[in-house]
Amino acid sequence: MLPIPPIVRVRWLTLCGLLQILFAGAADARSAALPHQPQPIAAGSRRVLLVHGIYNSARSMRWIERYLSARGWQVHAISLKPNDASVRFEVMARQLDSFVAATFPAGEKFDLVAFSMGGLVSRYYIQKMGGYARVRRFVTLSTPNHGTLWAWLSGRAGVKQMRSGSEMLRDLNGDLSKLLPLDYTSIYTPFDLSIVPAVSSRMPAARNIVAWVPLHPLMVMMPGPIRAVERALE
């Protein structure tokens, strides 16, 4: 592959960051489209853990959190640090493992919902760190399961692992045995310009669902994919 000039890398990564900020600020109005009907949380209610994507934090998952909380789930969300994939996935997955240990009673199962890069962090936790024994339902939104072409624009450690054919992706995709027992759903949009090609999100071990959403960041903001998450958790 031809080397990409540094100025092109900088401009693209800056654009990605601006899009995340723009849509995070503009989509609060969209959350009004999701009916908010508070319901009492029954004893022993299902627990859900949300994992955000690159350049984001737990706050970026707030539309899903509000929607599920209103329908009786006990929702938790983690903020990975750093959030720019400048560290390897092993490091991020250890953060997830520590969060689970500190948040949920030992041995208790929970549901895991992850967006974009967070889906790969979750897969590493499930497949390489024993998370398959804790996770009941696993739902990902626009996760680059087979890599994305944009990962070639950066030399950061975690971004390099999201390149198609990377050692990490070959390892995770070479043995799906830990995913097969899970109730696993992968939701993606054919219009995704961050996960290129968009079909990279499809997984043979998952129930693959198409959400007709125009842009990558909107996958965790718009009613369609959020309701698809709810149906997957049902």
The span from the CA of 185 to the CA of 160, in Å, is: 25
pLDDT of 10 over the 50 cut: no
Coil, strand or helix: which one is 98?
helix
Share of the chain above pLDDT 90, in %: 79
The superfamily CATH assigns to domain 45-233 is: Alpha/Beta hydrolase fold, catalytic domain (3.40.50.1820)
- CA–chain centroid gap for 153, Å, is 21
The whole-number pLDDT of residue 45 equals 53
**Pick the residue with more confidence: 82 or 15?**
82
The whole-number pLDDT of residue 3 equals 47
Coil, strand or helix: which one is 51?
strand
The span from the CA of 115 to the CA of 51, in Å, is: 6
Crossing angle for the helix pair 117-128 and 89-103, nearest 10 degrees?
70
The whole-number pLDDT of residue 5 equals 53
The whole-number pLDDT of residue 93 equals 98
**Pick the residue with more confidence: 74 or 1?**
74
Coil, strand or helix: which one is 34?
coil
**Pick the residue with more confidence: 41 or 107?**
107
Lowest mean pLDDT among 1-5, 87-91, 190-194, 209-213: 1-5
The whole-number pLDDT of residue 43 equals 40
Indicate the residue type of 137. Answer: R
Each residue's pLDDT tens digit, 126-161: 999 999 999 999 999 999 999 999 999 999 999 999
Q: Peptide bond before 197: cis, by omega within 30 degrees of 0?
A: yes
Residues 209-229 as b/e (b if ≥16 CB within 10 A, e otherwise) read bebebebbbbbbbbbebbebb
CA separation, residue 156 to residues 2, 43, 193, 217 (Å)? 18, 44, 20, 21
Can you tell me which residue has the tokens 């899009």? 19
The span from the CA of 76 to the CA of 69, in Å, is: 10
The closest of 164, 172, 182 to 121, measured between CA atoms, is: 172
Residue 189 tokens read as: 């949009």
The span from the CA of 153 to the CA of 37, in Å, is: 43
The closest of 179, 205, 219, 172 to 63, measured between CA atoms, is: 219
Mean pLDDT of 164-184: 97
Residue 65's pLDDT band, with cuts at 50, 70 and 90, is very high
pLDDT of 24 over the 90 cut: no
Mean pLDDT of 180-206: 97
Residue 219 tokens read as: 């996958």
Residue 98's pLDDT band, with cuts at 50, 70 and 90, is very high
Mean pLDDT of 208-234: 97
Residue 61's pLDDT band, with cuts at 50, 70 and 90, is very high
Mean pLDDT of 155-170: 98
